[in-house]
Chain A
């Protein structure tokens, strides 16, 4: 295995969280390297935030007013924002992290504007609207100013641990196939969500859960893994546009409607008019609408493609003009292509798709994991939002990235540089090259299908004990099959099947931890809905579930509450959602 020159801090991931972490680590004086899976300023989910039509960055209304951005909500305060985020997470969020989130948000927005980010307008009472690409461009401008080096097309595989502390990481250069050890005193994981474990996901193809899986293998812990937000209305068919969240964006703006195969609307079947209004008019729409959509899809009213239809009224002409007036971006690019479907008198099929992963690497308010030298930022971490993310993931990645980079740099200042032993590196290399040594085994392509069959069957919006237990059993079999995997091509140069293997090696870990966590939380809370336990139980389950190792070790932990505590009640799921929404400012 090649050894690169040593660094103080290696940042894994080059979405918003990774770039922001690199900036603060470099500004703190650390020697930094960024490892990008794809292109440095075009990797990760940040680019797709708000379908690259309108990503929102959240911040309290008072601060927006003070920055001269909004007059709308000047009576708002950081305290009100803090309390709302705590309620929205159904009391599982780490309130010390939430405090940092609301306190730091205005500074993160201000600096992005200083670095040249264009603000398009406002998004609701607590957010500005920008292009996801504009966030990346302004962060990258600052990265270049600071002269931070980076590598591209490089997939992170493992953390290297010596004497109980991080001593760097290993990566594969996808174009050459070379495996490289990068010695470092500290590593910041900013690998994003675990979208790739789901066939139906709204993320880019890079986000495969490398961070949480490698962290767990290396001895760090994961938290809140059972919590996954689904985007309720993502295109399932036509296949070409699968994964696009445009129907969700249009529906949130107020346009179009969902109908089942009989052409009937159905939200009223599952939600009272009051809750339905809440579901459609508030940011809670993701959770509540996903619940409704999945209920309908699981019924005989599901359409032939396995979803429900999203239709758009384009006649009379005035309605068409209203739509294009509100959403001018629909006229061009890929959205123009999607609109052609509606103009030709057809529509699209939608279903809830895995969208945002609340759980991940367990970190404290300094973004430090339990493993010395390991830090995390953004979606690959867990803890901030608890059982439901309503506020913006963009703010999360910026706030956490800033903290993680500075914490990692401070840690690296005092840390003794660790160097991995040859024996340890050989062991890691052997694990990565395993399918090249095997012949006649299953292909990672088929095993990936199996993983996605498993997650689709038991980790969708509506979960049951029986399905989860079965899923866990199948994960065990898949893990065993992965040990026998072999490849059709023996080259290491851009071998997609090998990449599928490397991603699966992580996917079985994150999916296994997620199914395990979902099977142990025998209640419904936030985005975790158990059809067989349709109540939220603050008596027994007001706790975070921590996954402690790859062998199925877990522990329940008291949540970090500093200010907001719920009543110790047990209520039916939907009525409790309604109760919690009433507490919001």
Chain B
């Protein structure tokens, strides 16, 4: 198994943003996306995490799941996770909650 440390900027919308780090385990050769990690964290570790998920095509066609990955704006569903740590932040200053921004 491979462990990935996922550091997420939360609650920036309150003006009291803080980083929270989750550890996600995946298979050694697993190909995972940022969206896969977010779904895993939401489903198995933290039901309060907010990220774009209500109308996602999951196939890089709708362009709605933008998130800042290690400082660069990416599509969560298309961005492959290769390293063992990653930092996720909202892609715009207009944060609704956690990683979800007004679009």
Contact = CB atoms under 8 A, between A and B. Distances in A.
Interface of A: 37-39, 42-43, 47-48, 51-52, 132-133, 153, 155, 174-175, 204-206, 238-244, 333-334, 337, 341, 443, 445, 449, 487-489, 491, 493-497, 499
Nearest to A204: B57
Contacts of A47: 57, 61-62
A496 B47 contact: yes
Contacts of A132: 61
Binding site secondary structure of chain A: loop
A334 B60 contact: yes
Interface string B11-32: 0000000000000000000111
Given A133-B61, A243-B59, A333-B60, 13 more contacts: A38-B54, A38-B62, A42-B55, A42-B64, A47-B61, A206-B56, A239-B36, A240-B36, A242-B58, A334-B59, A337-B80, A491-B97, A496-B49
B59 A488 contact: no
B50 interface: yes
Contacts of B51: 496
B59 A499 contact: no
Contact of A497 (B47, B54, B63, B103): B47
B54 A174 contact: yes
Contacts of A445: 42-43, 47
B87 interface: no
Contacts of A334: 59-60, 78
B31 A204 contact: no
The 6 closest A-B pairs by CB, nearest first: A38-B55, A238-B31, A206-B55, A489-B48, A488-B47, A334-B60
B96 A241 contact: no
B33 interface: yes
Contacts of B32: 238-240
A155 B54 CA distance: 9
B62 A239 contact: no
A487 B78 CA distance: 30
Contacts of B47: 443, 445, 487-489, 496-497
Given A337-B80, A488-B47, A496 B42 contact: yes
22 contacts: A39-B64, A47-B61, A48-B57, A48-B59, A51-B59, A133-B61, A153-B55, A175-B102, A205-B57, A239-B31, A240-B31, A240-B33, A241-B31, A333-B60, A334-B78, A337-B80, A489-B47, A496-B47, A496-B49, A496-B50, A496-B51, A499-B53
A219 B73 CA distance: 46
B100 interface: yes
Binding site secondary structure of chain B: loop
A371 B57 CA distance: 32
A366 B31 CA distance: 48
Nearest to B46: A488
Contacts of B43: 445, 449
B57 to A, nearest CB: 5
A133 B64 CA distance: 14
Which of B62, B97, B103 has most A Cβ within 10 Å? B62
Contacts of B30: 238-239
Contacts of A155: 54
A494 B80 contact: no
Interface string B64-79: 1000000000000010
B55 A37 contact: yes
B81 to A, nearest CB: 9
A164 B60 CA distance: 44
A206 B54 contact: yes
B78 A337 contact: yes
A48 B61 contact: yes
A240 B50 CA distance: 20
A290 B86 CA distance: 38
B96 A204 contact: no
A155 B35 CA distance: 21
Contacts of A337: 78, 80
A538 B100 CA distance: 53
Contacts of B33: 240
B53 A496 contact: yes
A239 B38 CA distance: 13
Contacts of A495: 50
Contacts of A491: 97
Nearest to A153: B54
Contact of B63 (A42, A174, A243, A487): A42
Contacts of B78: 333-334, 337
Contact of B48 (A38, A333, A449, A488): A488
A246 to B, nearest CB: 9
A204 B50 contact: no
A272 to B, nearest CB: 36
Contacts of A204: 55-58, 62
Which of A42, A51, A244 has most B Cβ within 10 Å? A42
